[in-house]
Structure 1
Amino acid sequence: MTQKTPPKIEFPCPDYPIKVLGEAGDVLQSLVIEVMTKHAPGFDPERITIKDSGKGRWQSVTVFITATGIEQLEAIHNDLRANPVTKIVL
């Protein structure tokens, strides 16, 4: 078998999606906005999409940023995961 390498991201990468899954509510939404404002200034909060799970216990929050580098993406991931309301960051 040949080993496949993941595709390379060319930076800056406009419209880079970040999806955060966690406990439904204002805390998750506020956290996502706070982290994006800190690490991706200029992101458009009007493009945030929020989807509730079938029973409403969980939410997915998707934002689109201009990714500027691996360091930025790692910082976003680390800040989002530091809060217990967050379960998964994609």
Structure 2
Amino acid sequence: MSNPTSDIKDLLEFPARFPIKVMGERTDVFLPTIFEVVRLHAPDLELAHIVARDSSSGKYVSLTVTVTATSKEQLDNIYRVLSGHPLVKWAL
């Protein structure tokens, strides 16, 4: 699988607001868990920076987490931790 941030350093000037899409099963712990995981790498993240949208079936939820990215390495670390998290189906 290709890395979504592979060419990002050529496209963005840092710092930059950067939306990350994360999908998982709709549970009470999904949003707060993703918030805490991303906040480890983006300490200025606030709950207001996350928009949740339920799937049509209601089984899944998609989150748009908008971080203030300071480097490509920071984004790579966020994608790495999200992609490896057991609650996450995918991260874009």
The aligned residue for residue 11 of structure 2 is: 8
Q: Measure the CA separation in 1 of the matches of 2:58 and 2:33.
A: 18
- Unaligned segments of structure 1, at least 5 residues: none
Contact 2:20 2:64 in 1 (8 A): yes
- Unaligned segments of structure 2, at least 5 residues: 1-6
The aligned residue for residue 48 of structure 1 is: 50
The runs of 4+ residues in structure 1 deviating greater than 4 Å are none
Q: State which structure, 1 or 2, has the greater radius of gyration over its C-alpha atoms.
A: 1
Contact 2:23 2:61 in 1 (8 A): yes
Cα displacement (A) at 1:47: 2.7
Return the TM-score normalized by structure 2.
0.81
Letter in 2 for 1:9: L
% same residue: 40
The aligned residue for residue 3 of structure 2 is: none
Deviations 1:29-85 (A, max 9, x none): 122111221000112211311110111111101111110111111111111112222
Return the TM-score normalized by structure 1.
0.82
